[in-house]
Amino acid sequence: MSAPTLQTIRGQPSWSFRSSHVHASLTRLGGHLAPVSFRVGHTMVAPLSVAPWAEEKLAPDTLPLLRALRGDFFCAPFGGNATPWRGEKHPVHGETAGAMWRLRSFEKSDARRTLHASIDTTIRRGHVDKYVTLIEGHAAVYQRHVLSGARGRMCVGHHAMLKFPDAPGSGVISTSAFERGQVFPEAFESPENRGYQSLKHGAIFRALDRVPLLGGGTTDLTRYPARKGFEDLVMLTADAKLPLAWTAVTFARGRHVWFALRDPRLLRHTILWISNGGRHYPPWSGRHTAVLGIEDVTSYFHYGLAESARANPLSRRGIPTTLTLYPKKPTAINYIMAVAEIPAGFDRVAAIRAAPGGVELVAASGKRVRCAVDLEFLSGRA
């Protein structure tokens, strides 16, 4: 089967492929997955964001990551990486998010299409294989990243970003059970740097609808867009005993739900990056609005490798903030994102659980929908 050829899509050379229910594109620069369209009934929806500057001429010193910024990308090491770790100085979100990937193969059968790309990392010598699979009849994208050849601690994560309709509260966010929620411990943005945040630094919370504000009181993070003009970041630590961890966004007016599934023993935390026009420096310039980063990670917030690998407030509590890589024992990280059609009255996802042929999504209102998903994929058995 001939492989997809590079074509420029929203400003980036990309490989595109499709199944009956998904049309997907992967950038060569950084391996960013977007645009991605999912079939919902008789229409297609494209919930992942693409940066508003995607097709603009940018300043020469613009990070490669920001040039490609879109959809979902894999980070190793996850985070800003401003502080070197044992002689390693990684770029923001690692080489996997801002260097060139190479297309290795494209396999097509009656039921599946799999695009295989890879990258050789140089700062910590190793190899990463990326497999993106579409299955006929499934409105889902299956991603597997396999890290091999490298040794030592590594913070990793997926960095999915959704673009919401501009109407306030157009999407409702929910997650599987989490043990602990915390606002980023320091100033995430500051007026001195032409950035603004609304949440109280370091605040601990137990429920997404009651998160402390910087100026006093609380706010509801389950409904978005909200708090226009601010950038905020929180991290939720999943219960490691869950058989399945998930994050979901219900778009009632659009009659669909986007959701992501993961193994919480590999990706323990979910970072919510709430980006609603709070950055006024280029290329953001106040125009990156109504975007929510849903970043499933094992890291210490988005600080980077040094802060995640050394002792930190979470690791001291026995909560992992890195994985350990072994050069001769590859580490595979599997991740599923999908879209399901929902009926009228489906208000927000209260539970996602295994069901024959996939998963069942249960709304707080009691409405239920089934979605075809290969859950065996998360365990590596598919």
Query: What's the CATH code of the domain at 263?
Result: 2.70.98.10
pLDDT band with cut points at 50, 70 and 90 for residue 382: low
pLDDT tens for each residue of 261-276: 999 999 999 999 999 9
Residue 332, pLDDT > 80, answer yes
185: in domain: yes
Number of continuous H segments (helices) and E segments (strands) in the chain: 4, 29
For residue 95, count other CB atoms closer than 10 A to its CB. 23
pLDDT tens for each residue of 34-65: 999 999 999 999 999 999 999 999 999 999 99
Residue 1, pLDDT > 60, answer no
What's at 40, amino acid-wise?
Answer: V
240: in domain: yes
Domain that holds residue 54: 7-379
Quote the pLDDT of residue 194. Answer: 87
Quote the pLDDT of residue 381. Answer: 57
1: in domain: no
pLDDT band with cut points at 50, 70 and 90 for residue 379: confident
**How many whole angstroms separate alpha carbon 14 and alpha carbon 10?**
9
pLDDT tens for each residue of 157-199: 999 999 999 999 999 999 999 999 999 999 999 888 888 999 9
Q: For residue 98, what are the contacts with CB-CB under 8 A and spacing of at least 6?
A: 29, 30, 63, 64, 65, 68, 91, 92
98: in domain: yes
Quote the pLDDT of residue 191. Answer: 85
Between the CA atoms of 345, 350, 354 and 356, what dihedral angle is there, to the nearest 10 degrees? Answer: -10
Quote the pLDDT of residue 211. Answer: 98
DSSP string computed for 321-361? --EEEBTTB-EEEEEEEEEEE--TT---EEEEEEETTEEEE
What's at 350, amino acid-wise?
Answer: A
Residue 235, pLDDT > 70, answer yes
Assessment of whether the complete model's pTM goes beyond 0.95? yes
Quote the pLDDT of residue 84. Answer: 98
Share of the chain above pLDDT 70, in %: 99
What's the DSSP call for residue 246? E
Quote the pLDDT of residue 162. Answer: 98
Contact 346, 252 (CB under 8 A): yes
- Looking at every residue in the chain, the average pLDDT score rounds to 96
Residue 321, pLDDT > 70, answer yes
299: in domain: yes
pLDDT tens for each residue of 17-34: 999 999 999 999 999 999
The lowest-confidence range among 44-48, 216-220, 333-337, 377-381 is 377-381
2: in domain: no
Domain count, the chain: 1
> What integer is the mean pLDDT of 284-307?
98
355: in domain: yes
- Rama region for 79: left / alpha / beta (φ>0; ψ in -120 to 50; rest): left
Quote the pLDDT of residue 3. Answer: 80
**How many whole angstroms separate alpha carbon 224 and alpha carbon 208?**
12
331: in domain: yes
> What integer is the mean pLDDT of 345-357?
97
Could you identify the residue written with the tokens 């365990």? 379
